[in-house]
Chain A
Amino acid sequence: MNFKYTCSALAIFAMSATAANAETLRLLTWGGYAPEAVIEKFEAETGHKVEVTKSNNEEMVAKLRATNGGGFDLIQPSQDRIAGAQEEFGIYKPLDLSKIDTSLFIDSMLEATKGNTMMDGKVFAVPHVWGTSGLVVNTKMAGSVKDYTDLCNADVAGKVSYRLKRPTLIGFAFAMGMDPFAAYGDADAYQGILDKVEAKLIECKANVKTYWDGGDEIKNLLRSGEVIASMAWDTGGWQLNADNADINFVAPASGALGWIDTFALPSRGRADEAAYAWINFVMQPEIAAMITSEAGNFTASKGGDAGVDDALKARYQTSFPQEAVDNIKWYPAVPAGLEALEGAVLDRVNAAQ
């Protein structure tokens, strides 16, 4: 009798404990980073609820800026959007690394991200998903396209697309033999690089069919054959490759541009416990493999690539021989104020006739 009472009391206690601890995690992330199956498992295991909002880098920063860092509990901007945005708008709060199981992370990536997002000795982000942007090419029709500047070749005129965003500026600068990342700290030198890129992009404009905005838009254009060469993300290329073997992601001669999407806490987030629980949950190798299958990109989870299907691995290896991996240009943190210089250039390119 006594035993029974203790048991039920314990059960009630346990239930109320989970109820008190259960939080709603408002996650601001990219499409594919929080698959339905992963959310269900997480909710069943921890009792926390997850609400997902899909977005992109610029919108994430803009949204948090509008609310002074409120409205979300965990966000996933790229690592280059942490330090500058923090300095300017103060929208993040430092991570408590003791609450994160760092043994789940690939060490080199964890260290790189920590270094990149460090401010005043505090770490603001840990890595999650990484990938590159480079060229997606219909190899049968546009075999000549090996580098960003090849998009301006006459033989692909009118069948080319890229975004009017900063990766395009960076990619063209590298392909033109300059190193924009080295000039990040020096506004005048950077402006010099941008001026040359601007002239090139204006000259190249006649070649462009349209500037694409969203991932689905460029995939449609490539699939229909209206565009045969484009700057795009590696996953987009691999997805198209599954449907049409002629189309694939090509790491440009001057180097693919590597990004790492991170976990960061908004400064006024309310469900930190749930956020840390989510980080530790999705970095487990088997969960990371589920996310890789959904998003198409690999994660910073140690052993997370083991459970990924062979077709995706094969595509990755075709696009990235070892020297191409070594040649990846990883985005360093964007200093505050750089966007204004780039924005003026992009506006002028957009307006050029």
Chain B
Amino acid sequence: MTSDKSKLGFFLLLSPLLLWLMTLIILPHVGMFFVSISEKVGVRQYETGFGNYAVFFNEPLYWNTFARTAYMSIAATFLTLLIGFPVAYYIAKLTKGRTKTTLFLMCLIPFWVSELVRTFGWMILLRETGVVSNFLQYIGLVDGPIEFLYNDAAIMTGLVYTSMLFMVVPLVTTLDSLDDSLIEAGYDLGGNGYTILREIIIPHAMPGIVSGCIVVFMLSLGNYLTPILLGGKDSLWFTGLIYSQFITRFNWELGSAFGFLLLGLSSLIVFVGLKLSRQSLTETMGR
């Protein structure tokens, strides 16, 4: 009797999750998969086959774009980690009480406005007649206006800024759980700052680093607005390709195939990353 009741409770609690997964994730993907394996042979005529996937591998443009998107995302992830780690360490270890809450909140505040607004903010700062360019001219560092927008560095800035929070939060959580006495013990045993970072702090923070990296990498790879708006004419990004296949080319078949390739290839990159860092997904996500 009790077991029946608890079973019922279990399924009732599970049902929102199942409903979510089925209706919003699995069903659309099944539909998209069927679209992706139908090749267009004429007006309103379709055949089943993997031709759309072949297009990706036969046209260097598409996999070059994917490779570019992937390595830019990886670079953005590393940059975010490099900037985010000291920030997280400072918040978790060197501050207490209200200061800690305030600093944490300050990391959060930019995310109260939408991504579009934040990106436009960067455009106002970086454009040729924008704030940074005018300031540099004002203090006499440069003679003419400088264009900071429409290049890879601008995309990188936008990506790192957009995903900073998602790196800092898991890092703060794992660093918080590190007992200060371990660091003191390290100093007592004659370690210096570098060895303690390498031997104690990083190994302890590894699950946080890995989960932060996975989230940031996925967000960058799937980002659409930032690369398109900040990148200008060189803004080749894989999600942009998918968008244009769906919307401007009316080619849903190829767009769906690209969507699946993005899903598969990004999962592969995360898998390789986990293997290289010798972490397992359960350990990383379970913390």
Contacts and interface: CB of A to CB of B under 8 A. Distances in A.
Nearest to B249: A343
B137 to A, nearest CB: 14
Interface stretch (B203-211, B239-247, B266-274): B239-247
Interface in B39-76: 43-44, 61-62, 64-65
Interface in B208-254: 228, 232-233, 236, 241, 244-252
B244 A224 contact: no
B127 interface: yes
B248 A351 contact: no
Contacts of B128: 224, 226
Nearest to B68: A351
Contact of A347 (B61, B147, B228, B250): B61
Interface residues of B, number: 26
A88 B44 CA distance: 6
A213 to B, nearest CB: 8
Interface string A28-70: 0000000000000000000000000000001101100100000
Interface string A206-234: 00111101000000000011100000000
B195 interface: no
Contacts of A210: 149-150, 232-233
B129 interface: yes
Nearest to B129: A224
A62 B245 CA distance: 11
Interface stretch (A118-126, A320-328, A332-340): A332-340
A205 B235 CA distance: 13
Nearest to A341: B249
B249 A351 contact: no
Contacts of B147: 209, 226
A351 B233 contact: no
B43 A337 contact: yes
A195 interface: no
Contact of A61 (B61, B228, B232, B250): B250
Contacts of B241: 347
A226 to B, nearest CB: 5
A211 B43 contact: no
A87 interface: yes
A351 B251 contact: no
A120 B36 CA distance: 32
B247 A339 contact: no
Nearest to A211: B233
A205 B248 CA distance: 21
Contacts of B250: 58, 61-62, 65, 85, 88-89, 339
Contact of B127 (A59, A65, A89, A226): A226
Interface in A127-150: none
A224 B147 CA distance: 13
Contact of B65 (A208, A211, A339, A351): A351
A92 B99 CA distance: 61
B44 A343 contact: no
B215 to A, nearest CB: 28
Contacts of B127: 224, 226
Contact of B64 (A65, A89, A343, A351): A351
A115 B236 CA distance: 40
Contacts of B232: 209-211
A348 interface: yes
A302 interface: no
Nearest to B251: A340
A301 B149 CA distance: 44
From A165, A211, A346, name the one whose CB has the most chain B CB atoms within 10 angstroms.
A211
Contacts of B249: 339-340, 343
B247 A347 contact: no
Given A88-B43, A226-B127, A351-B65, A58 B233 contact: no
Contacts of B62: 347
A58 B248 contact: yes
Interface in A189-210: 205, 208-210
Contacts of A61: 250
Contacts of A226: 127-129, 147
A252 B213 CA distance: 51
Contact of A343 (B65, B150, B236, B251): B251
B54 to A, nearest CB: 15
B233 A62 contact: no
A92 to B, nearest CB: 15
A343 B43 CA distance: 17
Contacts of A89: 250
B61 A339 contact: no
A351 B61 contact: yes
A350 interface: yes
A210 B245 CA distance: 21
Nearest to B234: A353
Nearest to A226: B128
A351 B236 contact: yes
Given A58-B247, A62-B247, A351-B61, A205 B43 contact: no
A343 B233 contact: no
Contacts of A205: 233
A229 B245 CA distance: 29
A277 B246 CA distance: 33
B245 A343 contact: yes
Interface of A: 58-59, 61-62, 65, 85, 87-90, 165, 205, 208-211, 213, 224-226, 336-337, 339-340, 343, 346-348, 350-351
The 3 closest A-B pairs by CB, nearest first: A210-B232, A343-B249, A224-B129
16 contacts: A61-B250, A87-B43, A87-B44, A210-B149, A213-B228, A224-B127, A224-B129, A225-B129, A336-B43, A339-B250, A340-B249, A347-B62, A350-B233, A350-B236, A351-B61, A351-B65
